[in-house]
Structure 1
Amino acid sequence: MRLPKSTYTSLPWRVHELTSDFSVEDVWSFRTPGAGPDDFPTMLAALQAEGGMARQPPLVKFLFAIRWKLGALLGWDKPSAGVGARVASLRDRLPGDLRDAPRGPDNENMPLKAVYELDMEAVRELANKTVHTLMHLGWVQGANGDYELRMTVLVKPNGRFGWLYMAAIAPFRYLIVYPALTRQWEGAWRHRDHAEAEYEEGKSR
């Protein structure tokens, strides 16, 4: 479910102190029935076990295949346009306590790379020729008392071209990608198993 941006900006996330030059693009919630305040690692483990794009429906895979093909043809995703090249990593801005915190594991199924991970929030990032994007995952108590996962997308478009690109893909995000992501992520919670132990082993510092 899409939420107002204020549901992100009004909470005291650590990431706020690092992202004054980013804009809040989307805030989305994912239902996790029965979840408690200590279940954020369990949810992250469930997402990791779910397999990313490999388990998305065919239409979503098709859209991303087109995007990657265009990126290859137009040079959008070259290493020179990524994190550590065109833009500095958000990790370069971290204060000492966040720099020393676990990042969370990376793998080939997740193009967004880990920045940091805390008990109630985690951040990942991706950059290319169009935009520098952050995905913030937060663990929040919902109206019914259960905790739920909230995803906020923050962006720093690369000039006018980046803003045009974000506007062009917005209908696809809202009508196809986010609904599919909701089904996948909420399903990951429902079908969670003992993935948390494996996830904890994969954390890096």
Structure 2
Amino acid sequence: MRLPSTAHTSRPWRIHGIAPDFRVEDVWALPTPGGPDDLPHLVGQFTEGEEPGMAGSSFAYRTLFAVRRRLGRLLHLDDADGGVGGRVASLRDRLPADLLAAPRGPDSDALPFRSVYLLHDEWAAELANRTVHAVLHLGWVPDGAGGYRGQMAVLVKPNGLLGAAYLLGIKPFRYVVVYPGLLRSIGRRWQETAGRRK
């Protein structure tokens, strides 16, 4: 379920102080009911195995990502010199001492995001290309019924007019194809791995 930006901005996340120059693009409640200590399991879903959303995904979802990968190669959108450590510095360079001392969190070959930090109730990972510097933020929040669930926010810092146009151009595809497929996949995998969380 899509949530208002305030569902992210009103919480005392550490990311606010680290990325104040990024804007909140999307916030979603994740279908991941659990207990107070289950964030590492959710992070594992995003970093272990294949790309979230691809397993059992629709033809439209797979096609959209295949087209994006081809365009990225053709237009050199994802070249290393346009990424973190190339075009932009890592958000890890902004971390205060206590977060630098905290676990960094896992990276993944399945996702282009690289972990910035991992806390008990919060994980942040970043990516950059020629269009945008983005943060994937997973939080673990009370669900209002005595349990907990995941909450995903995407924060962005567009790279000039190209980045702004790119974000505007992909917005309908995100809401019609990407997020519905991603949320179904997250919920399905969460149920399939329920035994590991006991």
1:105 alignment partner in structure 2: 106
One-letter amino acid of the structure 2 residue matched with residue 77 of structure 1: D
How much has 1:50 moved relative to structure 2? Answer: 5.3
Q: RMSD between aligned alpha carbons? A: 1.6
Q: Match of 2:28, SS?
A: strand
How much has 1:45 moved relative to structure 2? Answer: 2.7
How much has 1:195 moved relative to structure 2? Answer: 5.9
2:32 alignment partner in structure 1: 32
Bigger shift: 101-110 or 112-121? 101-110
1:179 alignment partner in structure 2: 180
The question of whether the paired residues in 2 share the 8 Å contact of 1:5 and 1:26 is answered with yes
2:40 alignment partner in structure 1: 41
Are 1:17 and 2:17 matched, yes or no?
yes
* Structure 1 runs, 4 residues or longer, greater than 3 Å off: 46-50, 193-196
How much has 1:96 moved relative to structure 2? Answer: 1.1
What is the TM-score when the length of structure 2 is the normalising length? 0.92
TM alignment of 1:80-95, pairs within 5 A: 80-95=81-96
Name the count of aligned residue pairs: 195
Bigger shift: 86-95 or 59-68? 59-68
1:156 alignment partner in structure 2: 157
The question of whether the paired residues in 2 share the 8 Å contact of 1:101 and 1:117 is answered with yes
Q: Distance in 1 between matches of 2:40 and 2:132?
A: 29
The question of whether the paired residues in 2 share the 8 Å contact of 1:46 and 1:195 is answered with no
Q: Distance in 1 between matches of 2:123 and 2:49?
A: 17
Q: Match of 2:62, SS?
A: helix
2:7 alignment partner in structure 1: 7
Q: Match of 1:24, SS?
A: strand
Q: Match of 1:52, SS?
A: coil
Q: Match of 2:173, SS?
A: helix
1:202 alignment partner in structure 2: none
How much has 1:187 moved relative to structure 2? Answer: 1.3
The question of whether the paired residues in 2 share the 8 Å contact of 1:40 and 1:139 is answered with yes
Aligned CA distance change for structure 1 residues 50 and 85 (closer, same or farther; 3 Å)? closer
Q: Distance in 1 between matches of 2:48 and 2:74?
A: 32
1:51 alignment partner in structure 2: 50
The question of whether the paired residues in 2 share the 8 Å contact of 1:47 and 1:188 is answered with no
Q: Match of 1:166, SS?
A: helix
Query: What percentage of residue pairs aligned between the two structures are identical?
Result: 48
How much has 1:170 moved relative to structure 2? Answer: 0.5
What is the TM-score when the length of structure 1 is the normalising length? 0.89
Q: Which runs of 5+ in 2 are unaligned?
A: none
How much has 1:145 moved relative to structure 2? Answer: 2.4
